[in-house]
């Protein structure tokens, strides 16, 4: 499974390491991902999601049901 947040769609970015002499070499900025279980009270079941720290904050703010619905509309999650 690729390292992509299932709520926000965040994925790794590419950038440069810059040394003191200003030489640039390629590097990768990984996403801060967690495998976490969330409870869906409507369906009385647990769901496993791979979410970033920003995705957890989004779930806390909007609620799990709304966050999953928005992620499905944007195509980050196929079916839960």
CATH ID of 13-74, from 3.40.710.10, 2.30.170.40, 3.40.50.2000, 3.40.1260.10: 2.30.170.40
Residue 5 pLDDT = 97
Beta strands in the chain (DSSP E): 13-18, 24-29, 33-40, 45-52
Domain boundaries in the chain? 13-74
* Residue among 47, 34, 24, 36 nearest 3 (CA): 34
pLDDT tens for 7-52 read: 999 999 999 999 999 999 999 999 999 999 999 999 999 999 999 9
State residue 2's pLDDT score. 82
Residue 72, classed as helix, strand or coil, is helix
pLDDT given at position 1: 57
How far apart are the C-alpha atoms of 49 and 2, rounded to whole Å?
13
For range 62-73, the mean pLDDT: 96
Read off the tokens for 73.
């509309």
């Amino acid at each position: 499974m690729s390292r992509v947040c299932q709520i926000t769609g965040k994925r790794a970015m590419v950038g440069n390491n810059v040394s003191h002499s200003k030489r640039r070499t390629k590097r990768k900025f990984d996403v801060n991902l967690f495998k976490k279980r969330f409870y869906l009270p409507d369906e009385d079941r647990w769901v496993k999601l791979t979410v970033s720290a920003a995705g957890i904050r989004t779930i806390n703010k909007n609620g799990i049901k709304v966050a999953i619905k928005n992620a499905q509309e944007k195509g980050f999650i196929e079916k839960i």
